[in-house]
Chains A and B, each alone.
Chain A
Amino acid sequence: MSALAVEDLHVWFDLPGGRELHAVQGIDLALARGERLGLVGESGCGKTTAILAMMGLLPPSASVAGRVLLDGVDILAGGDRTMRPHRWTDIAMVFQGAMNAFDPVKTVGSQITEPLERAGIASGRAARTRTGELLELVGISAERQDRYPHEFSGGMRQRAAIAMALACEPKVLLADEPTTALDVMVQAQILELLVRLTDELGLAMVLVTHDLPLVSQACTRAAVMYAGRIAETGTTRELHHAPLHPYTRMLFQATPDLHGTGAVRSIPGAPPRLDEPTVGCPFSPRCDRAFAPCATTRPPLRSAEPGHLAHCHLEGGA
């Protein structure tokens, strides 16, 4: 059974004037224990909204449909009420810009202790010891827990945020751009840390990023999102070498390649508006291989290998 399975997840946001923005339009994901899945796509495609929905952390202006299964149990069914007992204890998150997510007037340690005490895992001296262990786990010495966030470097704060996410030993970790705004050396450290932690603790991890090389490096599988939907999902190798969806191919072409000879090419155009219903394939206006059915018919789910799926009209790869 999958540690985390997301089935047909939709998110809408209320707009002024009774209109709606369909930010996430039915995505499916499945992760086994210890598996790392990359969720990639350009800014505004719904990556962060999707994982916030999995955490049940959307604002009151959002409405949600679909299922989020944790070990086969739908934790989204009752909204916030059914989500609350699992949040942070079973499914935890490293927020985007997590290094700025600390309260500047409380010590780092006390902020890691907070979820421990809230979840009733440890308190007092035991919680302090556990906080120390958590910091050691991410490579920060235990006695630093009495320091304030401003006394930490950016990379250390990022690692402390990961320690905070791991506090209640969750089964699933959602990491929203955990390495953005860090220099490459620290980026590599954080990535190594996340890979090591998922291997050692058997965590399932969703790594949200727009950095494709990062995903290839850290994840076995990836899902490419476009305009609130999953364009293609498969192993990172398949996505790189045999993409089924032109968007995936163009995304890789837009990424500088260390060994590559080809010039970096951008994708012209912009994603469609999500406050109006899309007809056909949302990528068709920007697609270099669009043909007749793309503009009118929703592309079917096509599969090349087991587990390698794409929503595209093209047969035989992009």
Chain B
Amino acid sequence: MSPQELAEAVVPATADTRRRIPLWGFLKGHPQAAIGAAILVVFALVAILGPWLAPYGPREQVGPIFGTPSNPHPLGLDDAGIDILSLLIYGARITLIVGFAGALVAVVVGGTIGIVSGYFGGRIDNLLMRVTDYFLVIPDLVLLIVVASIWGRSLRNIIIIIGLVYWTFMARLIRSQVKVVRERAYVKRAQALGASHVRIITRHVLPQVLPLILAQTVLMVALAIFLETAISFLGLGDPNAPSWGRMIENAFDRSAISYGAWWAIVPPGLAVAIVIMAFNMLGTAAEDALNPRLKVSHLLRRHFRMRPLPDREDPR
């Protein structure tokens, strides 16, 4: 047994990674997380089962232009006579995929840069953080308009743009946490035992920052969906992918408002709002659960209670 194996047998370094958050208990203790999760499950199912659920195709003209909501078309028709409900269902796919993929890019890029920067410190930290600062000072909207018009309008480019805009948040956040963790005694212990940087990062640092990354990812998805909607609304979305943002943009473009066709704008707008709210509810509750210190209960103006004396059990 090498000294390192011996030490880790005595003090299991994996104790942190083995700690699991019981999902059911978490949802029970945080009603807002349960509501958020329930909403997301519904939307995810709709997105997955979209082609089977949608009554019509996303490009299929089934009635008059801006047809009013009626029995076969509960949410009416859009400017090309396409069923809005079907578009909404197909849009859930695009919107959720872009949201998750965009957040994933941001988390992977930002997380890696944050961990490397925080763990190694010094010159590497300085260099990476200056790059981060550079990206932070560029206005998001301008950056994404420029990049989208240079690279062209496609789903893949939108995902990359979202990653480009949001990785800086993640990098900063993770870096500061890693800086805290790397000063802990057990990291020094692992160093003293000759553990490699990769081992320390994966076995000791990552398990400590992972809960934070997870909670932030959930919040990031909400931001990504918001940004996708904004990009699409500005007319920079993928013309072949009917996301909710594209639906709103399209309706706006074809003057749905002057037709009085509210049903072309309200449903996708509402869907975006509800999904973002659900992600936020889940994300903030996860943050609370994973970092209980956010709820500083000892600063609350609540005190211990007084109660009447129980009966004396012993004679005296």
B183 in the interface (beta carbon within 8 A): no
Q: Which of B297, B298, B304, B316 contacts A56 (CB 8 A)?
A: B304
Q: Mask for B281-316, Cβ within 8 A of A = 1, else 0?
A: 000000000000000011010111111111011111
- In the complex, which residue of chain A has the Cβ closest to the Cβ of B308? A65
Interfacial chain A residues near B313, Cβ < 8 Å: 298
Q: Are A65 and B314 neighbours in the complex by a CB distance under 8 Å?
A: no
Q: Are B315 and A65 neighbours in the complex by a CB distance under 8 Å?
A: no
User: Of the 9-residue stretches A73-81, A178-186, A208-216, which lies at the interface with chain B?
Assistant: A73-81
Q: Which of A26, A60, A301 contacts B303 (CB 8 A)?
A: A60
Interfacial chain A residues near B297, Cβ < 8 Å: 59-60
State the Cβ distance, A154 to closest chain B Cβ, in Å: 17
Q: Which of B304, B309, B315 contacts A60 (CB 8 A)?
A: B304
Interfacial chain A residues near B298, Cβ < 8 Å: 59
State the Cβ distance, B96 to closest chain A Cβ, in Å: 35
Number of A-B contacts defined by CB within 8 Å: 57
- Tally A residues with Cβ within 8 Å of B: 25
> In the complex, what distance in Å separates the CA atom of A10 from the CA atom of B314?
14
- In the complex, which residue of chain A has the Cβ closest to the Cβ of B313? A298
> In the complex, what distance in Å separates the CA atom of A173 from the CA atom of B294?
33
CB within 8 Å of B: which A73-93 residues: 76-80
Interfacial chain B residues near A114, Cβ < 8 Å: none
> In the complex, what distance in Å separates the CA atom of A145 from the CA atom of B297?
32
Q: Are A300 and B304 neighbours in the complex by a CB distance under 8 Å?
A: no
Q: Given that A65-B309, A65-B310, A66-B309 are known contacts, is A301 also in contact with B316, CB under 8 Å in the complex? A: yes
> In the complex, what distance in Å separates the CA atom of A63 from the CA atom of B302?
12
A299 in the interface (beta carbon within 8 A): yes
A218 in the interface (beta carbon within 8 A): no
> In the complex, what distance in Å separates the CA atom of A56 from the CA atom of B304?
8
Q: Are A10 and B310 neighbours in the complex by a CB distance under 8 Å?
A: yes
State the Cβ distance, B289 to closest chain A Cβ, in Å: 14
Q: Are B305 and A300 neighbours in the complex by a CB distance under 8 Å?
A: no
Interfacial chain B residues near A61, Cβ < 8 Å: 304
Interfacial chain A residues near B309, Cβ < 8 Å: 8, 10, 65-66
Q: Are A65 and B307 neighbours in the complex by a CB distance under 8 Å?
A: yes
State the Cβ distance, B21 to closest chain A Cβ, in Å: 15
Q: Which of B307, B315, B316 contacts A64 (CB 8 A)?
A: B307
CB within 8 Å of B: which A33-70 residues: 53, 56, 58-66
A249 in the interface (beta carbon within 8 A): no
Q: Are A63 and B314 neighbours in the complex by a CB distance under 8 Å?
A: no
Q: Are B304 and A80 neighbours in the complex by a CB distance under 8 Å?
A: yes
Q: Are A64 and B310 neighbours in the complex by a CB distance under 8 Å?
A: no
> In the complex, what distance in Å separates the CA atom of A64 from the CA atom of B304?
7
Q: Are B314 and A64 neighbours in the complex by a CB distance under 8 Å?
A: no
Q: Are A65 and B312 neighbours in the complex by a CB distance under 8 Å?
A: no
Q: Given that A8-B309, A10-B309, A59-B297 are known contacts, is A79 also in contact with B304, CB under 8 Å in the complex? A: yes
A311 in the interface (beta carbon within 8 A): yes
Q: Mask for A1-41, Cβ within 8 A of B = 1, else 0?
A: 00000001010100000000000001000000000000000
20 contacts between A and B (CB under 8 A): A12-B307, A26-B312, A53-B304, A56-B304, A59-B298, A59-B304, A61-B304, A63-B307, A64-B305, A65-B309, A76-B306, A78-B306, A79-B306, A80-B303, A80-B304, A298-B313, A298-B314, A300-B314, A300-B315, A301-B316
Instruction: For the complex of A and B, list the 5 residue pairs with the smallest distance between their C-beta atoms, beginning with the closest.
Output: A80-B303, A58-B304, A60-B302, A62-B304, A63-B305
